[in-house]
A and B are shown apart, each in its own frame.
Chain A
């Protein structure tokens, strides 16, 4: 009894510590704890644009969704946009204004000193990246004109040549509006328009509309890509032709000659036309699709861009697929003025400079020269508004830290006549000040809120451009609610004060609209749909050449012929951007660092991508497998030598090497520190224009230093296993909708049988819902927005490079990339090797929620079980970590927590969102943070399903289709993922499966009889039949 007594006392002592429940002092009217609020806003980073809806909980932004109202991004997002919410909670953001030695200074003192020194300085320069905000530009203009100086914009990924060519040819220095959705034939010279070029979310949305096929539409666009490194866009092309940078100019000229007929220009391009694969074919297709085609190039050579304009002009694409009257402002950087600024700075003729939201010391080609000038105090007054102490800010006298974009008011005009607003969704976390207010204060000497400035501008501007609403406040509220304003398009007046909150309570319920379909349930007007109908109405496209065009293709051709020489003996270097990190602005964001590159599947690094033949020449092609690598010394002209690991990249043009920008940050924070090498200093500047390839003077020397690249997928091909990946050509598909389908049979005593017709199990009954997903491999571009969206939604830890190397990455949603080739193989070993220029297929792979799940039957503690709604559920609190389930999972989608990733010093450097107090703000409070030693995997976003069901139950109705979507489906910019209830007769997934079950829909590894609830639609390539055997 005494033992019992002791036990009882000791157990009583185990009582939980006292916890407090601290309510608001004054609860804001529209904030209810545990009920999310959604605010429309805008993501803009340099010229990258996305209209978004921000989900907040208790006043903290925790998730970003696309904005369905947007006429531009139409509800799509990208990996960078999804990840940007974590950058808000970066603990290495500046917390207060500082002076050069890092000392805190009060805003008053800073303002006083800044105004004084500005008054004494001549030749002020404000440097920024592209600004999409007309009001911000106006603020800066006022500031600059007060002190006398100039506002210079530059872009880390410059499209100067594109804007310059349009200025020369059309008198308008801007990027035109491209409409890929109207193009039947797309030819791209190096432009990664699905990944990084200009406005990838918008282009992906448009492009995917031309790639969707089904019983009703059996046609799709044809896409040619001529590029040096393998980009996401190239991976999606029907015909991809690797070319060297030195061939690009002549390839464009040759295409022009082929289209215009014969050798229209005086330059003979017959050699190029013959040598470059698919060039003649592309020309023939383009000619057949006049006014329904599009030729784009990412070249920063003005002559090449003029030539591209000439091609589009000859094809009558202006006014059809290219809208010159609606210029887009995505890239406004002027390379020449920027180069001039750096020269002047070095000379000391500039006395004051303000770096607004830019980091030229790091991400401008002449950054080193500028850094030197700043370091040597060639400029007297140097001010930065950086949010972090970046490479430029450390060299400045004052840093007046700006708000994060989620804390700011602003307006944007990404395209002429398409406005959007951004609003603060959280109170400023630190003692920062919106840079616009700093400018206003420095201009006038008195503080004035930027919001008032913004509203005044809108009252005198945009408000007058509509006649629907007579009251400005109401107009402003409506525009703020939808996030956008397009003059000429009716505003959604169904929104009263707080009136529509209930409808979007369960998330952006209108997410994922069917292409061209309307949402009947919420009555939301869909701009996407109206745009589509408008397109049908204006059916006969004009193929007449644009009258404004002024250009001489012949002189351009001669110019190109003069500067592009065949360069077969020398190695050429191409600098490109990766989908995750882009130009490196968000380098300190661990989600993006650990996001596997869609092509190489590498994380936490940049590397020199080399073609297979170079590796063979070096004799290391057998060695560089499974993430093993060697370092190479890269030397470009006179710039200092850098050491960088090499990676064999199938599809890389022979004689070229590639290196990604955005890495090698020196002063960005603990996550980014020491990751990769900085490629910006290697960018050549010719006549002030930044080029993204080096054609001469590149030398690469292999060293014996071994290195490991953390890749999440190290196999290249699917090794002939058609049960995983099924693809066909369009020609085959048009004849037979089941083309490319591989239908395994099981041998039984009664002959071969379909695997679904025999089973050991009784099956499940789903009386209520039956959740299922279909992934269209034809639409998936591999952009990886879904992967990050999944990370954010489900509190997935980042594990760091070392653990990725141990194959312990935690992504629930991975995108498998398979190289394939239609050429015959000699032996089984060849099946494993990617060919020199392979076809690429992306296959998003997540828990398949099998109806006969192998994992469920082996769990000794029944921690993973099947629900009555078709979900393979995982009870973390029950799991004891035997990992039998992961071993038995044929899809390898289960992830094991080898460590405690939260509150663990070991992972503080790579997983700040679970290790520092600020980072933890981003965690989704509805999802458990998993402990060490347990298994986790995709849950079909069960928390979203539960919330959606609850809302429906409270309203006494069934959930509407599209109301409940997973994070991945809602993030997808191409609507490749369809999620819904198979038991709902009106759901898109049901209708899709009804039409595709005898068509393109297949289950991966069907022969083992798992009967997944995730279906894939075969990949169809728009190739001609004769090409299939070539």
Chain B
């Protein structure tokens, strides 16, 4: 504290005002600082869930121990097993699981229980076998409420690969079931926009800044006290100066001061403005929308517990623009014999009897101006359903998991790598991309995925 400073202080008419405004600034800073963690939290909501999903989707094929024993010529090669897995997923999984009974019996160790020829004949035409009087088949048929197994026209190779898969699964100690999340997908690249939380260093800077401001405030208060005490000891002050020194800082004068009012109004306006803008961005965004459906259908039960493939009900998911809400006849494939006495299931029968389709409430409402094609993303892009629809296998009531805003779409297009392997369509593009940027990943944005008329026409 030098004399020089003191003079300045003396000369300044508005020094109390200066002090006051310093205080106000500090308060404002604290307010702002306080709001940061809240914001950050808001933005990162849902990120842990995403990680859970990825953790849950542990690839199962790797876990299969390579057994050498040859059981009835069932191949053990990885190709056969993966071919079998694909067949199983597309054809069998709706009614069969390895470990437990779904519609049909559990298939664990079917290769040891029945001869291969018998299994093949049963798959190809179970009714023929039953009618031929095969005791095991007839017994099986009666045991499972005389539910007919559809005929599958597989060739020998396909049946062997199917058995290879079942054998591998049966031998597998974990027996993770059949949820074939393709390995490697979604691990990288497909990070949803929400998980982009505020970086840690910014938080640190803000904390340090807050501490510094508090310290400055403390120092200023101390300085003020010291100065006042010093001036009080002086006797050569005229009345006017004395008045300044004696003036007590009243709460009222602080509140009514212009800078304070300005700041209050400014902050208020800023907060309101920000919220309005944020609110406007939320118009039409129905994230979390979980309407009550006419039938309390549980995805947790069907997709989670029973692991019915999405494609079984949503027939268009891999081949069409729309994934399709299943028609009642698809429900009836199983529910003509399962849960026939439950009230929710009876609604299905009512629909059939009244010839009235079920009016499901639409959850995902993309605006008409945006064209979205499921096939492009699932069958070409190899994106998992869960990437956009969230942990659907855990949802008792389905809700809109993603924002479905353009920003959300674009962010994914920016980051996602194009699934080019094994697709001749991309050969030239990959080559050109490698020439231009050696080693750089070919992302959707690099093949025009950010252009307007990919989605708007």
Residue contact B369 to A877, C-beta cutoff 8 Å: yes
Determine the distance from Cα of A1 to Cα of B357 in the docked complex, in whole angstroms.
47
Cα–Cα distance between A18 and B365 once the two chains are bound (Å): 10
Query: B177 at interface (Cβ–Cβ under 8 A)?
Result: no
Supposing A24-B327, A32-B324, A868-B451 touch, asked if A927 and B457 sit within 8 A by C-beta, the answer is: yes
A23 to B359, CA, bound (A): 8
Segment of B13-21, B157-165, B180-188, B370-378 engaged in the interface with chain A: B370-378
Least CB distance from B353 to A in Å reads 11
Beta-carbon nearest neighbor of A951 in chain B: B375
Q: Is the CB of B379 within 8 A of A1?
A: no
For B275, what are the chain A residues with a Cβ–Cβ distance below 8 Å? 4, 7-8
Q: Does B155 contact A (CB under 8 A)?
A: no
Decide yes or no whether B425 CB sits under 8 A from chain A: yes
A25-B328, A25-B351, A950-B373 in contact; A33/B316 too (CB < 8 A)? yes
Q: Is the CB of B448 within 8 A of A867?
A: yes
**Which candidate, A77-85, A344-352, A738-746, A954-962, is the interface stretch facing chain B?**
A954-962
How near does chain A come to B103, taking the closest CB pair, in angstroms?
20
Report whether A11 and B330 are in contact in the complex, using a CB–CB cutoff of 8 Å.
no
A941 to chain B, nearest CB (A): 9
| Contact flags B392-430 to A (C-beta < 8 A → 1, else 0) | 000000000000000000000000000000111110110
Q: How far is the CB of B289 from chain A (nearest CB, A)?
A: 8
Chain A nearest CB from B267 CB (Å) reads 11
| B291 CB within 8 Å of chain A | yes
Main SS of the interface on chain A? loop
CB contacts (< 8 Å) of A863 on chain B: these are 452
Contact A953 B362 (CB under 8 A): no
| Chain B, Cβ-Cβ closest to A939 | B457
Whether B371 and A950, one on each chain, are in contact in the complex, defined by CB atoms closer than 8 angstroms, is no
Is A26 in contact with chain B by the CB < 8 A criterion? yes
Name the contact of A34 in the complex, choosing from B322, B432, B448 (C-beta under 8 A): B322
Asked if A954 and B359 sit within 8 Å, CB to CB, the answer is: no
Contact partner, A953, options B319, B327, B351, B425, Cβ 8 Å: B425
Give which listed residue, B359, B368, B428, contacts A928 with CB less than 8 A: B368
| B453:A939 contact, CB within 8 angstroms | yes
Contact of A24 among B319, B357, B370, B447 (CB under 8 A): B357
Contact: A35 with B319, CB < 8 Å? yes
**Interface residue stretch chosen among B28-36, B168-176, B208-216, B278-286:** B278-286
Contact yes or no, B324 A957, CB < 8 A: no
Smallest CB separation, B366 vs chain A (Å): 11
Residue of B nearest to A10 (CB): B279
By a CB distance below 8 angstroms, the chain A residues around B425 are 949, 952-953, 956-958
**Interchain CB contact under 8 A, A943 and B457:** yes
B352 on interface, CB distance cutoff 8 Å: yes
Interface string of A7-19 (1 = CB under 8 A from B): 1100100111011
Residue B356, interface by CB 8 Å = yes
A3 to B283, CA, bound (A): 17
Q: Are A23 and B360 in contact (CB under 8 A)?
A: yes
Instruction: Report yes or no: A942 in contact with B453, Cβ–Cβ below 8 A.
Output: yes
CB of B456 within 8 A of chain A?
yes
Is B295 close to A, CB under 8 A? no
Closest Cβ neighbor of B275 among chain A residues: A4
Scoring B325, B328, B456 by chain A CB atoms within 10 A of each residue's CB, the highest score goes to: B456
Assembled-state Cα–Cα distance A929/B369 (Å): 8
A753 on interface, CB distance cutoff 8 Å: no
Q: Which of B279, B370, B451 contacts A867 (CB 8 A)?
A: B451
Contact of A18 among B320, B361, B448, B457 (CB under 8 A): B361
Q: Is B244 part of the contact surface with A, judged by Cβ < 8 Å? A: no
Knowing A873-B452, A927-B457, A939-B453, the reply to whether A18 touches B291 (Cβ < 8 A) is yes
**Known contacts A16-B284, A928-B368, A956-B425; is A868 also within 8 Å of B448 by CB?**
yes
Contact with A along B439-457 (1 / 0, CB 8 A): 0000000011001111011
Q: Does B380 count as interface, using CB distance less than 8 angstroms? A: yes
List of A residues within 8 angstroms of B229 by Cβ: none
The reply to whether A19 and B362 contact each other, CB–CB distance below 8 Å, is yes
**Inter-subunit contact A25/B325 (CB<8 Å):** no
Once A867-B448, A875-B453, A954-B375 are accepted as A-B contacts, the answer to whether A23 and B324 lie under 8 Å apart by CB is yes
A957 CA / B428 CA spacing, docked (Å)? 11
Task: Select which of B271, B362, B370, B376 is within 8 A of A21 by beta carbon.
Answer: B362
Q: Chain B residues near A950: list those with CB within 8 A.
A: 373, 375-376, 380
Q: Confirm or deny: A822 has a beta carbon within 8 angstroms of a beta carbon on chain B.
A: no
CB distance from B47 to the nearest CB of A (A): 24
B329 touches A26 (CB 8 A): yes
B453 near A873 with CB under 8 A, answer: yes
Q: What 0/1 readout, one digit per residue, does chain B (92-112) give for beta carbons within 8 Å of chain A?
A: 000000000000000000000
Q: Are A23 and B357 in contact (CB under 8 A)?
A: yes
Which of A3, A19, A23 has the most chain B CB within a 10 Å cutoff? A23
- Contact in complex: B272, A20 (CB < 8 Å): no
How far apart are the CA atoms of A878 and B426 in the complex, in Å?
30
Contact indicator per residue, chain B 236-277, by CB within 8 Å of chain A (1) or not (0): 000000000000000000000000000000000001100110
Residues of A12-69 whose CB lies within 8 A of B: 14-16, 18-27, 32-35
Task: Specify which of A15, A25, A952 is in contact with B352 (CB 8 Å cutoff).
Answer: A25
B327 adjacent to A23 (CB under 8 Å)? yes
Q: Report how far A952 CA is from B359 CA in the complex, Å.
A: 35
B321 in the interface (beta carbon within 8 A): yes
CB-contacts of A856-878 with B (<8 A) = 863, 865, 867-869, 871, 873-878
CB-CB under 8 A from A868, the residues of chain B are 447-448, 451
Please measure, in the bound complex, the distance between the C-alpha atom of A873 and the C-alpha atom of B451, giving whole angstroms.
8
B441 → chain A closest CB, angstroms = 16
Is the Cβ of A942 less than 8 Å from the Cβ of B457?
yes
How many whole Å from B418's CB to the nearest CB in chain A? 10
B316 near A35: Cβ-Cβ < 8 Å = yes
> B50 at interface (Cβ–Cβ under 8 A)?
no
A794 to chain B: closest residue by CB: B457
A108 to chain B, nearest CB (A): 24
Chain A window 562-575, contacts with chain B (Cβ cutoff 8 Å), 1 for yes, 0 for no: 00000000000000
Interface residues of A in 918-968 (CB under 8 A from B): 926-929, 939, 942-943, 946, 949-950, 952-954, 956-958
Q: A874 contacts which chain B residues (CB < 8 A)?
A: 452-453
B358 proximity list for chain A (CB < 8 A): 22-23
Q: Are A27 and B325 in contact (CB under 8 A)?
A: no
Q: Once bound together, how far apart are the Cα atoms of A944 and B110, in whole Å?
A: 48
Alpha-carbon distance A805/B302, docked complex (angstroms): 61
Give chain A nearest CB distance to B317 CB in angstroms.
11
Query: For A488, what are the chain B residues with a Cβ–Cβ distance below 8 Å?
Result: none
Q: Which of B272, B316, B376 contacts A3 (CB 8 A)?
A: B272
User: Separation in Å of the A113 CB from the closest CB of chain B?
Assistant: 33
A7, A21, A928: most-surrounded residue (chain B CB, <10 A): A21
- Alpha-carbon distance A24/B330, docked complex (angstroms): 10
Residue contact A34 to B320, C-beta cutoff 8 Å = yes
Given contacts A7-B272, A25-B328, A26-B327, contact A867 B453 (CB under 8 A): yes
- Contact between B365 and A19, CB atoms less than 8 A apart: yes
Docked Cα-Cα span, A957 to B329, in Å, equals 35
Closest to A950 in B: B376
CB-CB under 8 A from A939, the residues of chain B are 453, 457
**Residue A540 at the chain B interface, CB threshold 8 Å:** no
Q: Assess whether A25 is in contact with B356, with CB atoms less than 8 Å apart.
A: yes
Question: Is B423 touching A953 in the complex (CB atoms < 8 A)?
Answer: yes
Interface string of B110-125 (1 = CB under 8 A from A): 0000000000000000
- Whether B276 and A7, one on each chain, are in contact in the complex, defined by CB atoms closer than 8 angstroms, is yes
Say if the beta carbon of A555 comes within 8 Å of chain B: no
Known: A8-B275, A24-B327. 16 other contacts (CB 8 A): A7-B275, A19-B362, A20-B361, A25-B327, A32-B319, A32-B324, A35-B319, A867-B452, A868-B448, A869-B448, A873-B453, A874-B452, A875-B456, A876-B456, A956-B423, A957-B425
Top 4 A-B pairs ranked by shortest CB distance? A873-B453, A34-B321, A875-B452, A27-B327
**What are 14 A-B interface contacts by the 8 Å CB criterion?**
A4-B275, A11-B279, A15-B286, A16-B284, A18-B362, A24-B328, A25-B327, A32-B320, A767-B429, A874-B453, A942-B457, A946-B454, A946-B457, A956-B422
